[in-house]
Chain A
Amino acid sequence: MEYAIEVKGLRKEYKGFNLQDVSFRVPQGYIMGLIGPNGAGKTTIIKLIMNLLIRKTGEIRVFGKDNIQHEAEIKERIGFVYDIPHFYEDVNLKNLASAMSPFYSKWDNSFFLKLIDEFELPLAKKFKKLSHGMKMKFSLALALSHDADLILMDEPTAGLDPVFRQDLMDRLSKMMLDEGKTVLFSTHITSDLERIADFITFINDGEIVFSSKREDILENWGVIKAGQDFLEHSKVPGFKGFRKSDFGVEVLTSEIKEAAAISSSDYIIEKANLEDIMYFMGRGDQNV
Protein backbone atom coordinates (compact mmCIF):
# COMPACT_ATOMS: atom_id res chain seq x y z
CA MET A 1 0.00 0.00 0.00
CA GLU A 2 1.28 3.47 -0.86
CA TYR A 3 1.01 6.20 1.70
CA ALA A 4 0.28 9.88 1.16
CA ILE A 5 1.56 10.76 4.64
CA GLU A 6 3.93 8.81 6.89
CA VAL A 7 4.75 10.32 10.26
CA LYS A 8 7.34 8.60 12.46
CA GLY A 9 8.49 9.51 15.97
CA LEU A 10 7.45 13.15 15.61
CA ARG A 11 8.28 15.43 18.52
CA LYS A 12 7.65 19.09 19.15
CA GLU A 13 8.09 20.91 22.41
CA TYR A 14 6.38 24.05 23.60
CA LYS A 15 6.12 25.59 27.02
CA GLY A 16 3.54 23.43 28.76
CA PHE A 17 2.88 21.12 25.81
CA ASN A 18 4.83 18.30 24.20
CA LEU A 19 4.00 16.35 21.10
CA GLN A 20 5.47 12.96 21.95
CA ASP A 21 6.64 10.38 19.44
CA VAL A 22 3.68 10.73 17.14
CA SER A 23 3.52 8.08 14.40
CA PHE A 24 0.73 7.35 11.92
CA ARG A 25 0.19 6.75 8.21
CA VAL A 26 -2.46 7.91 5.78
CA PRO A 27 -2.87 5.57 2.77
CA GLN A 28 -3.25 7.25 -0.62
CA GLY A 29 -6.84 7.68 -1.76
CA TYR A 30 -8.38 7.60 1.71
CA ILE A 31 -9.81 10.07 4.19
CA MET A 32 -8.33 10.25 7.67
CA GLY A 33 -9.95 12.21 10.46
CA LEU A 34 -7.82 13.61 13.26
CA ILE A 35 -9.79 13.98 16.46
CA GLY A 36 -8.96 15.03 19.98
CA PRO A 37 -9.82 17.62 22.59
CA ASN A 38 -8.70 21.24 22.37
CA GLY A 39 -4.97 21.56 22.80
CA ALA A 40 -4.37 17.86 22.07
CA GLY A 41 -1.93 18.62 19.24
CA LYS A 42 -4.05 18.33 16.07
CA THR A 43 -3.11 21.74 14.67
CA THR A 44 0.52 21.15 15.64
CA ILE A 45 0.60 17.93 13.58
CA ILE A 46 -0.94 19.60 10.53
CA LYS A 47 1.44 22.57 10.82
CA LEU A 48 4.41 20.22 11.17
CA ILE A 49 3.37 18.41 7.99
CA MET A 50 3.23 21.80 6.24
CA ASN A 51 6.62 22.75 7.75
CA LEU A 52 5.08 25.78 9.44
CA LEU A 53 6.51 24.52 12.71
CA ILE A 54 10.03 23.25 13.18
CA ARG A 55 10.05 19.69 14.51
CA LYS A 56 12.38 18.62 17.28
CA THR A 57 12.84 15.06 16.06
CA GLY A 58 11.07 12.60 13.83
CA GLU A 59 10.32 12.12 10.19
CA ILE A 60 7.49 13.26 7.95
CA ARG A 61 7.20 11.84 4.45
CA VAL A 62 4.57 13.05 2.02
CA PHE A 63 4.12 10.88 -1.08
CA GLY A 64 7.30 9.10 0.02
CA LYS A 65 9.40 12.27 0.15
CA ASP A 66 10.77 14.17 3.13
CA ASN A 67 8.56 17.21 3.72
CA ILE A 68 11.51 19.56 4.24
CA GLN A 69 13.96 18.34 1.59
CA HIS A 70 11.23 18.31 -1.07
CA GLU A 71 9.17 21.14 0.42
CA ALA A 72 8.22 23.02 -2.75
CA GLU A 73 7.47 19.89 -4.77
CA ILE A 74 5.29 18.47 -1.99
CA LYS A 75 3.38 21.68 -1.32
CA GLU A 76 2.48 21.91 -4.99
CA ARG A 77 0.46 18.73 -4.40
CA ILE A 78 -1.19 19.90 -1.15
CA GLY A 79 -4.35 21.92 -0.76
CA PHE A 80 -4.47 23.44 2.73
CA VAL A 81 -7.19 24.92 4.89
CA TYR A 82 -6.34 26.22 8.37
CA ASP A 83 -8.71 26.73 11.27
CA ILE A 84 -8.25 30.51 11.01
CA PRO A 85 -7.64 31.63 7.43
CA HIS A 86 -5.01 34.38 7.34
CA PHE A 87 -4.85 36.41 4.17
CA TYR A 88 -4.31 40.13 3.51
CA GLU A 89 -7.47 41.54 5.05
CA ASP A 90 -7.72 44.67 2.89
CA VAL A 91 -7.46 42.84 -0.44
CA ASN A 92 -10.47 41.52 -2.34
CA LEU A 93 -10.96 37.85 -3.12
CA LYS A 94 -10.23 38.22 -6.82
CA ASN A 95 -6.84 39.80 -6.13
CA LEU A 96 -5.99 37.30 -3.40
CA ALA A 97 -6.57 34.46 -5.84
CA SER A 98 -4.58 36.27 -8.56
CA ALA A 99 -1.67 36.65 -6.15
CA MET A 100 -1.64 32.97 -5.22
CA SER A 101 -2.55 31.18 -8.43
CA PRO A 102 0.81 31.64 -10.30
CA PHE A 103 2.51 29.51 -7.64
CA TYR A 104 0.54 26.42 -8.74
CA SER A 105 1.31 24.88 -12.12
CA LYS A 106 -2.04 23.06 -12.15
CA TRP A 107 -4.19 26.05 -11.16
CA ASP A 108 -7.60 25.75 -12.81
CA ASN A 109 -9.15 29.20 -12.86
CA SER A 110 -12.44 28.11 -14.40
CA PHE A 111 -12.88 25.52 -11.63
CA PHE A 112 -12.00 28.18 -9.05
CA LEU A 113 -14.66 30.51 -10.47
CA LYS A 114 -17.14 27.62 -10.50
CA LEU A 115 -16.47 27.01 -6.80
CA ILE A 116 -16.74 30.72 -6.02
CA ASP A 117 -20.10 30.69 -7.73
CA GLU A 118 -21.25 27.53 -5.91
CA PHE A 119 -20.09 28.88 -2.56
CA GLU A 120 -21.79 32.23 -3.33
CA LEU A 121 -18.67 34.22 -2.55
CA PRO A 122 -18.43 37.88 -3.63
CA LEU A 123 -15.13 38.18 -5.55
CA ALA A 124 -15.08 41.98 -5.31
CA LYS A 125 -15.42 41.98 -1.52
CA LYS A 126 -12.43 42.52 0.74
CA PHE A 127 -11.39 39.53 2.85
CA LYS A 128 -12.03 41.40 6.12
CA LYS A 129 -15.66 41.97 5.15
CA LEU A 130 -16.38 38.23 5.03
CA SER A 131 -17.90 36.19 7.84
CA HIS A 132 -15.82 33.35 9.29
CA GLY A 133 -17.84 30.81 7.32
CA MET A 134 -17.24 32.69 4.06
CA LYS A 135 -13.53 32.96 4.84
CA MET A 136 -13.42 29.18 5.28
CA LYS A 137 -15.28 28.69 2.00
CA PHE A 138 -12.78 30.94 0.20
CA SER A 139 -9.92 29.03 1.75
CA LEU A 140 -11.52 25.79 0.55
CA ALA A 141 -11.98 27.15 -2.97
CA LEU A 142 -8.26 27.99 -3.10
CA ALA A 143 -7.30 24.57 -1.74
CA LEU A 144 -9.45 22.69 -4.24
CA SER A 145 -8.55 24.67 -7.36
CA HIS A 146 -5.06 23.42 -8.13
CA ASP A 147 -5.76 19.73 -8.48
CA ALA A 148 -4.04 18.87 -5.21
CA ASP A 149 -3.47 15.17 -4.50
CA LEU A 150 -3.60 15.71 -0.75
CA ILE A 151 -6.05 17.97 1.07
CA LEU A 152 -4.93 19.00 4.56
CA MET A 153 -7.57 20.71 6.63
CA ASP A 154 -7.54 21.94 10.19
CA GLU A 155 -11.07 22.29 11.56
CA PRO A 156 -12.49 23.11 8.12
CA THR A 157 -16.10 22.77 9.18
CA ALA A 158 -15.88 25.12 12.17
CA GLY A 159 -18.21 28.06 11.57
CA LEU A 160 -19.94 26.48 8.58
CA ASP A 161 -23.69 25.98 8.46
CA PRO A 162 -24.95 22.35 8.48
CA VAL A 163 -26.03 22.45 4.82
CA PHE A 164 -22.64 23.56 3.58
CA ARG A 165 -20.91 21.14 5.96
CA GLN A 166 -22.82 18.27 4.44
CA ASP A 167 -22.04 19.55 0.92
CA LEU A 168 -18.37 19.73 1.80
CA MET A 169 -18.33 16.21 3.20
CA ASP A 170 -20.03 14.91 0.06
CA ARG A 171 -17.55 16.79 -2.11
CA LEU A 172 -14.56 15.36 -0.22
CA SER A 173 -16.01 11.88 -0.42
CA LYS A 174 -16.58 12.25 -4.18
CA MET A 175 -13.05 13.59 -4.70
CA MET A 176 -11.64 10.58 -2.93
CA LEU A 177 -13.76 8.07 -4.84
CA ASP A 178 -13.57 9.66 -8.31
CA GLU A 179 -10.11 11.16 -8.32
CA GLY A 180 -8.19 9.13 -5.75
CA LYS A 181 -7.39 12.16 -3.60
CA THR A 182 -6.22 11.80 -0.03
CA VAL A 183 -7.71 13.88 2.76
CA LEU A 184 -6.45 14.48 6.29
CA PHE A 185 -8.61 16.69 8.41
CA SER A 186 -9.03 17.53 12.02
CA THR A 187 -12.40 18.29 13.49
CA HIS A 188 -14.42 18.47 16.64
CA ILE A 189 -17.58 17.56 14.77
CA THR A 190 -17.24 13.82 14.96
CA SER A 191 -20.49 13.16 13.08
CA ASP A 192 -18.73 14.45 9.94
CA LEU A 193 -16.06 11.80 10.35
CA GLU A 194 -18.52 9.00 11.04
CA ARG A 195 -20.00 9.64 7.62
CA ILE A 196 -16.93 9.89 5.42
CA ALA A 197 -13.65 9.03 7.17
CA ASP A 198 -11.92 5.74 6.35
CA PHE A 199 -9.42 6.07 9.19
CA ILE A 200 -9.58 7.83 12.53
CA THR A 201 -6.58 9.00 14.49
CA PHE A 202 -7.25 10.07 18.03
CA ILE A 203 -4.76 12.31 19.76
CA ASN A 204 -4.83 13.32 23.39
CA ASP A 205 -2.36 15.46 25.30
CA GLY A 206 0.24 15.26 22.52
CA GLU A 207 0.11 11.48 22.17
CA ILE A 208 -1.59 9.25 19.62
CA VAL A 209 -4.14 7.13 21.47
CA PHE A 210 -5.13 5.09 18.42
CA SER A 211 -5.04 5.26 14.66
CA SER A 212 -7.38 2.69 13.10
CA LYS A 213 -10.01 2.02 10.48
CA ARG A 214 -13.31 3.73 11.25
CA GLU A 215 -15.26 0.46 10.87
CA ASP A 216 -12.99 -1.29 13.38
CA ILE A 217 -13.50 1.48 15.91
CA LEU A 218 -17.24 1.74 15.53
CA GLU A 219 -17.52 -2.07 15.47
CA ASN A 220 -15.35 -2.84 18.50
CA TRP A 221 -15.78 0.07 20.89
CA GLY A 222 -18.74 0.22 23.20
CA VAL A 223 -20.21 1.93 26.25
CA ILE A 224 -21.46 -0.11 29.18
CA LYS A 225 -24.18 1.53 31.26
CA ALA A 226 -24.54 0.00 34.69
CA GLY A 227 -25.20 0.62 38.38
CA GLN A 228 -22.85 2.60 40.63
CA ASP A 229 -21.03 -0.47 41.97
CA PHE A 230 -20.52 -2.19 38.60
CA LEU A 231 -16.78 -1.50 38.43
CA GLU A 232 -16.23 -2.87 41.93
CA HIS A 233 -17.58 -6.28 40.95
CA SER A 234 -16.66 -6.61 37.29
CA LYS A 235 -13.41 -6.49 35.37
CA VAL A 236 -14.12 -4.92 31.99
CA PRO A 237 -12.08 -6.24 29.03
CA GLY A 238 -10.61 -3.41 26.90
CA PHE A 239 -11.39 -0.88 29.65
CA LYS A 240 -10.60 2.64 28.38
CA GLY A 241 -12.34 5.00 30.77
CA PHE A 242 -15.46 5.68 32.79
CA ARG A 243 -17.84 8.37 33.91
CA LYS A 244 -19.83 8.30 37.15
CA SER A 245 -23.08 10.10 37.71
CA ASP A 246 -26.00 9.97 40.17
CA PHE A 247 -27.69 7.45 37.89
CA GLY A 248 -24.83 4.98 37.61
CA VAL A 249 -21.60 4.45 35.76
CA GLU A 250 -20.71 4.47 32.08
CA VAL A 251 -17.64 2.54 30.97
CA LEU A 252 -15.85 2.77 27.64
CA THR A 253 -14.41 -0.44 26.22
CA SER A 254 -12.49 -1.20 23.06
CA GLU A 255 -13.57 -4.87 23.20
CA ILE A 256 -17.33 -4.79 22.97
CA LYS A 257 -17.74 -8.53 22.21
CA GLU A 258 -15.63 -9.64 25.17
CA ALA A 259 -17.33 -7.05 27.40
CA ALA A 260 -20.73 -8.37 26.39
CA ALA A 261 -19.78 -11.68 27.97
CA ILE A 262 -19.39 -10.24 31.48
CA SER A 263 -21.46 -12.33 33.83
CA SER A 264 -23.59 -9.66 35.31
CA SER A 265 -27.16 -8.94 34.42
CA ASP A 266 -27.26 -5.41 35.73
CA TYR A 267 -25.94 -3.54 32.69
CA ILE A 268 -26.63 -2.66 29.09
CA ILE A 269 -24.04 -2.26 26.38
CA GLU A 270 -24.21 -0.01 23.33
CA LYS A 271 -21.85 0.71 20.47
CA ALA A 272 -19.76 3.80 21.11
CA ASN A 273 -19.67 6.69 18.69
CA LEU A 274 -16.64 8.93 18.17
CA GLU A 275 -18.02 11.57 20.48
CA ASP A 276 -18.28 9.02 23.31
CA ILE A 277 -14.71 7.92 22.65
CA MET A 278 -13.48 11.52 22.59
CA TYR A 279 -15.28 12.28 25.81
CA PHE A 280 -14.16 9.24 27.77
CA MET A 281 -10.58 9.32 26.52
CA GLY A 282 -10.21 13.05 26.87
CA ARG A 283 -12.39 14.07 29.79
CA GLY A 284 -13.71 10.94 31.48
CA ASP A 285 -13.32 10.45 35.23
CA GLN A 286 -10.53 8.04 34.44
CA ASN A 287 -8.95 6.90 31.24
CA VAL A 288 -6.13 4.57 30.34
Chain B
Amino acid sequence: MFKYVRRELILNKNLIIMFLVYVSVLGIWASLQKIPSKMVIMLFSFIVPMLSLSLQAREDKFKAWVSTCSLPTTRNTLIKARFFTIWIFTFTALLYAVVVGALIPGNQAMLAQLLTLKTLFLCLFFISLCLALLLPFIIRFGIVGIMIFLVAAQVLGIVFLMLTRLTGRNENFFRSFLNLIIDGIKYLFNHQGTLLFYFTIILAAAALNLFSLKISQFLLARKDF
Protein backbone atom coordinates (compact mmCIF):
# COMPACT_ATOMS: atom_id res chain seq x y z
CA MET B 1 0.00 0.00 0.00
CA PHE B 2 2.90 2.34 0.72
CA LYS B 3 4.07 2.30 -2.89
CA TYR B 4 0.81 4.07 -3.76
CA VAL B 5 1.43 6.70 -1.07
CA ARG B 6 4.99 7.11 -2.36
CA ARG B 7 3.65 7.51 -5.88
CA GLU B 8 1.21 10.23 -4.81
CA LEU B 9 3.95 12.03 -2.89
CA ILE B 10 6.26 12.05 -5.91
CA LEU B 11 3.59 13.05 -8.42
CA ASN B 12 2.07 15.76 -6.23
CA LYS B 13 5.19 17.12 -4.53
CA ASN B 14 4.69 20.76 -5.54
CA LEU B 15 1.03 20.75 -4.63
CA ILE B 16 1.78 19.24 -1.21
CA ILE B 17 4.29 22.01 -0.50
CA MET B 18 1.65 24.58 -1.46
CA PHE B 19 -0.82 22.82 0.86
CA LEU B 20 1.56 22.97 3.76
CA VAL B 21 2.05 26.69 3.23
CA TYR B 22 -1.72 27.16 3.01
CA VAL B 23 -2.40 25.10 6.13
CA SER B 24 0.33 27.03 7.97
CA VAL B 25 -1.25 30.36 7.08
CA LEU B 26 -4.68 29.04 8.01
CA GLY B 27 -3.39 27.67 11.32
CA ILE B 28 -1.64 30.95 12.21
CA TRP B 29 -4.66 33.01 11.19
CA ALA B 30 -7.04 30.84 13.23
CA SER B 31 -4.74 31.10 16.23
CA LEU B 32 -4.23 34.86 16.05
CA GLN B 33 -7.91 35.61 15.52
CA LYS B 34 -8.81 33.51 18.60
CA ILE B 35 -11.49 31.76 16.60
CA PRO B 36 -13.75 29.53 18.77
CA SER B 37 -12.67 25.88 18.84
CA LYS B 38 -15.96 24.72 17.25
CA MET B 39 -15.29 26.95 14.26
CA VAL B 40 -11.70 25.72 13.97
CA ILE B 41 -12.91 22.11 13.95
CA MET B 42 -15.46 22.81 11.24
CA LEU B 43 -13.01 24.87 9.21
CA PHE B 44 -10.27 22.25 9.22
CA SER B 45 -12.76 19.42 8.78
CA PHE B 46 -13.75 20.97 5.49
CA ILE B 47 -10.50 22.51 4.23
CA VAL B 48 -8.15 19.59 4.90
CA PRO B 49 -10.21 16.95 3.02
CA MET B 50 -10.73 19.39 0.17
CA LEU B 51 -6.99 19.80 -0.15
CA SER B 52 -6.47 16.03 -0.03
CA LEU B 53 -9.17 15.55 -2.63
CA SER B 54 -7.63 18.06 -4.98
CA LEU B 55 -4.55 15.82 -5.05
CA GLN B 56 -6.78 13.11 -6.47
CA ALA B 57 -8.41 15.51 -8.88
CA ARG B 58 -5.05 16.08 -10.56
CA GLU B 59 -5.25 12.54 -11.87
CA ASP B 60 -8.38 13.54 -13.70
CA LYS B 61 -6.92 16.85 -14.89
CA PHE B 62 -4.02 15.09 -16.64
CA LYS B 63 -6.18 12.16 -17.76
CA ALA B 64 -3.60 10.00 -15.99
CA TRP B 65 -6.22 7.43 -14.97
CA VAL B 66 -5.34 5.56 -18.17
CA SER B 67 -1.74 5.01 -17.12
CA THR B 68 -2.72 4.47 -13.46
CA CYS B 69 -5.23 1.77 -14.37
CA SER B 70 -2.62 0.13 -16.62
CA LEU B 71 -0.33 -0.49 -13.66
CA PRO B 72 -0.19 -4.06 -12.34
CA THR B 73 -3.02 -3.71 -9.89
CA THR B 74 -6.79 -4.02 -9.78
CA ARG B 75 -9.28 -1.18 -9.72
CA ASN B 76 -10.47 -2.26 -6.28
CA THR B 77 -6.93 -2.06 -4.94
CA LEU B 78 -6.52 1.36 -6.53
CA ILE B 79 -9.57 2.66 -4.69
CA LYS B 80 -8.41 1.18 -1.38
CA ALA B 81 -5.03 2.80 -1.95
CA ARG B 82 -6.72 6.11 -2.72
CA PHE B 83 -8.63 6.06 0.57
CA PHE B 84 -5.51 5.04 2.45
CA THR B 85 -3.45 7.81 0.83
CA ILE B 86 -6.09 10.46 1.43
CA TRP B 87 -6.30 9.56 5.11
CA ILE B 88 -2.50 9.62 5.43
CA PHE B 89 -2.47 13.09 3.84
CA THR B 90 -5.37 14.26 5.98
CA PHE B 91 -3.75 13.16 9.24
CA THR B 92 -0.41 14.63 8.19
CA ALA B 93 -2.00 17.97 7.29
CA LEU B 94 -3.89 18.11 10.62
CA LEU B 95 -0.79 17.19 12.59
CA TYR B 96 1.17 19.79 10.71
CA ALA B 97 -1.49 22.45 11.46
CA VAL B 98 -1.28 21.58 15.16
CA VAL B 99 2.51 21.83 15.14
CA VAL B 100 2.38 25.19 13.37
CA GLY B 101 -0.23 26.40 15.89
CA ALA B 102 1.96 25.24 18.79
CA LEU B 103 4.91 27.22 17.52
CA ILE B 104 3.07 30.55 17.74
CA PRO B 105 4.16 32.35 20.90
CA GLY B 106 1.39 32.56 23.51
CA ASN B 107 -0.82 30.17 21.58
CA GLN B 108 -0.17 27.11 23.74
CA ALA B 109 -3.10 27.79 26.07
CA MET B 110 -5.57 27.94 23.20
CA LEU B 111 -4.03 24.86 21.64
CA ALA B 112 -4.41 22.93 24.91
CA GLN B 113 -8.08 23.94 24.93
CA LEU B 114 -8.47 22.82 21.33
CA LEU B 115 -6.55 19.58 21.56
CA THR B 116 -8.95 17.57 23.66
CA LEU B 117 -10.02 14.03 22.96
CA LYS B 118 -13.48 15.28 22.09
CA THR B 119 -12.39 17.86 19.51
CA LEU B 120 -10.08 15.31 17.89
CA PHE B 121 -12.85 12.75 17.62
CA LEU B 122 -15.32 15.32 16.34
CA CYS B 123 -12.80 16.49 13.78
CA LEU B 124 -12.32 12.89 12.68
CA PHE B 125 -16.06 12.42 12.34
CA PHE B 126 -16.62 15.55 10.26
CA ILE B 127 -13.64 14.80 8.03
CA SER B 128 -14.99 11.27 7.50
CA LEU B 129 -18.35 12.72 6.59
CA CYS B 130 -16.83 15.17 4.14
CA LEU B 131 -14.55 12.57 2.51
CA ALA B 132 -17.24 9.91 2.40
CA LEU B 133 -19.60 12.26 0.57
CA LEU B 134 -17.04 13.70 -1.83
CA LEU B 135 -14.83 10.75 -2.78
CA PRO B 136 -17.34 8.82 -4.92
CA PHE B 137 -18.09 12.03 -6.83
CA ILE B 138 -14.44 12.77 -7.48
CA ILE B 139 -13.71 9.18 -8.48
CA ARG B 140 -16.60 9.09 -10.90
CA PHE B 141 -16.44 12.64 -12.26
CA GLY B 142 -12.98 13.99 -11.32
CA ILE B 143 -12.64 17.71 -10.69
CA VAL B 144 -16.09 18.24 -12.11
CA GLY B 145 -17.30 15.93 -9.34
CA ILE B 146 -16.30 18.44 -6.66
CA MET B 147 -18.12 21.19 -8.53
CA ILE B 148 -21.20 19.00 -9.01
CA PHE B 149 -21.21 18.15 -5.34
CA LEU B 150 -20.75 21.72 -4.13
CA VAL B 151 -23.31 23.18 -6.51
CA ALA B 152 -25.81 20.38 -5.83
CA ALA B 153 -25.31 20.75 -2.07
CA GLN B 154 -25.93 24.52 -2.28
CA VAL B 155 -28.97 24.17 -4.51
CA LEU B 156 -30.42 21.46 -2.29
CA GLY B 157 -29.72 23.57 0.78
CA ILE B 158 -31.45 26.61 -0.71
CA VAL B 159 -34.44 24.55 -1.87
CA PHE B 160 -34.65 22.88 1.51
CA LEU B 161 -34.55 26.17 3.43
CA MET B 162 -37.14 27.69 1.09
CA LEU B 163 -39.42 24.70 1.59
CA THR B 164 -38.94 24.96 5.35
CA ARG B 165 -39.96 28.62 5.22
CA LEU B 166 -42.83 28.14 2.79
CA THR B 167 -44.39 25.31 4.73
CA GLY B 168 -44.99 27.59 7.70
CA ARG B 169 -44.02 27.62 11.35
CA ASN B 170 -45.88 24.45 12.23
CA GLU B 171 -44.03 21.17 12.63
CA ASN B 172 -43.65 19.47 9.28
CA PHE B 173 -41.19 17.12 7.58
CA PHE B 174 -38.76 19.81 6.37
CA ARG B 175 -38.65 21.69 9.66
CA SER B 176 -38.27 18.43 11.62
CA PHE B 177 -35.40 17.32 9.38
CA LEU B 178 -33.64 20.69 9.73
CA ASN B 179 -34.07 20.59 13.51
CA LEU B 180 -32.73 17.05 13.57
CA ILE B 181 -29.50 18.18 11.86
CA ILE B 182 -29.13 21.24 14.13
CA ASP B 183 -29.84 19.20 17.25
CA GLY B 184 -27.46 16.49 16.08
CA ILE B 185 -24.58 18.96 15.66
CA LYS B 186 -25.43 20.63 19.02
CA TYR B 187 -25.50 17.20 20.65
CA LEU B 188 -22.08 16.33 19.26
CA PHE B 189 -20.52 19.56 20.49
CA ASN B 190 -22.22 19.63 23.90
CA HIS B 191 -21.83 15.96 24.81
CA GLN B 192 -19.72 15.23 27.89
CA GLY B 193 -17.55 12.81 25.94
CA THR B 194 -18.02 9.36 27.43
CA LEU B 195 -16.27 6.21 26.25
CA LEU B 196 -19.48 5.11 24.50
CA PHE B 197 -19.64 8.48 22.75
CA TYR B 198 -16.11 8.12 21.37
CA PHE B 199 -16.75 4.51 20.38
CA THR B 200 -19.92 5.53 18.52
CA ILE B 201 -18.08 8.34 16.76
CA ILE B 202 -15.30 5.98 15.62
CA LEU B 203 -17.84 3.40 14.50
CA ALA B 204 -19.83 5.99 12.54
CA ALA B 205 -16.67 7.33 10.88
CA ALA B 206 -15.58 3.81 9.93
CA ALA B 207 -19.04 2.92 8.61
CA LEU B 208 -19.17 6.11 6.52
CA ASN B 209 -15.78 5.40 5.01
CA LEU B 210 -16.56 1.78 4.32
CA PHE B 211 -19.81 2.73 2.60
CA SER B 212 -18.04 5.40 0.55
CA LEU B 213 -15.26 2.93 -0.34
CA LYS B 214 -17.76 0.37 -1.60
CA ILE B 215 -19.64 2.98 -3.63
CA SER B 216 -16.36 4.25 -5.11
CA GLN B 217 -15.27 0.71 -6.02
CA PHE B 218 -18.65 0.07 -7.63
CA LEU B 219 -18.35 3.28 -9.67
CA LEU B 220 -14.77 2.74 -10.81
CA ALA B 221 -15.43 -0.88 -11.76
CA ARG B 222 -17.95 0.41 -14.31
CA LYS B 223 -15.94 3.30 -15.67
CA ASP B 224 -14.46 3.34 -19.17
CA PHE B 225 -11.15 5.12 -19.77
Show the binding face of A for B, using Cβ within 8 Å: 47, 50-54, 71-76, 78, 80, 82, 85-91, 95-96, 98-100, 102-104
Find the residue from A76, A87, A88 having the highest chain B CB count within 10 A: A88
Q: How far is the CA of A90 from the CA of B224 in the complex (A)?
A: 25
Contact A53 B224 (CB under 8 A): yes
Contact B10 A99 (CB under 8 A): yes
Binds A, one of B39-47, B71-79, B123-131, B191-199: B71-79
- Given A53-B225, A54-B222, A86-B63 contact (CB < 8 Å): yes
B15 nearest in chain A by CB position: A90
Q: Shortest beta-carbon distance, B73 to chain A, in Å?
A: 5
Q: Please tell me the size bucket of the interface on B.
A: 20 to 34
Could you say which of B13, B14, B62, B224 contacts A54, with CB atoms under 8 Å apart?
B224
- Counting CB contacts under 8 A, is B70 at the interface? yes
Q: Which residues of A contact B67 (CB under 8 A)?
A: 82, 85-87, 100
Find the residue from A72, A98, A99 having the highest chain B CB count within 10 A: A99
Could you say which of A72, A82, A86, A103 contacts B3, with CB atoms under 8 Å apart?
A103
B74 nearest in chain A by CB position: A71
Contact A72 B77 (CB under 8 A): yes
Q: Which residues of A contact B66 (CB under 8 A)?
A: 52, 82, 86
Q: Shortest beta-carbon distance, B222 to chain A, in Å?
A: 6
- Counting CB contacts under 8 A, is B69 at the interface? yes
Q: Shortest beta-carbon distance, B225 to chain A, in Å?
A: 4
Residues of B44-63 whose CB lies within 8 A of A: 58, 62-63
Contact B64 A87 (CB under 8 A): yes
Q: Which residues of B contact A86 (CB under 8 A)?
A: 62-67
A12 nearest in chain B by CB position: B224
Q: Shortest beta-carbon distance, A74 to chain B, in Å?
A: 8
Q: Shortest beta-carbon distance, B220 to chain A, in Å?
A: 10
Q: Which residues of B contact A82 (CB under 8 A)?
A: 66-67
Contact B11 A75 (CB under 8 A): no
Q: Shortest beta-carbon distance, B90 to chain A, in Å?
A: 21
Q: Shortest beta-carbon distance, B87 to chain A, in Å?
A: 20
- Counting CB contacts under 8 A, is B38 at the interface? no
Contact B74 A72 (CB under 8 A): yes
Contact A50 B10 (CB under 8 A): no
Q: Which residues of A contact B72 (CB under 8 A)?
A: 72-76, 103-104
- Counting CB contacts under 8 A, is B165 at the interface? no
Could you say which of B10, B70, B71 contacts A98, with CB atoms under 8 Å apart?
B10
Q: How far is the CA of A99 from the CA of B64 in the complex (A)?
A: 13
Q: Which residues of A contact B73 (CB under 8 A)?
A: 71-72, 75, 103
- Counting CB contacts under 8 A, is B7 at the interface? yes
Closest 7 CB pairs between A and B? A76-B72, A75-B72, A102-B3, A52-B225, A86-B63, A99-B10, A99-B7
- Chain B 182-225, CB-CB to A under 8 Å as 1, else 0, gives 00000000000000000000000000000000000000011111
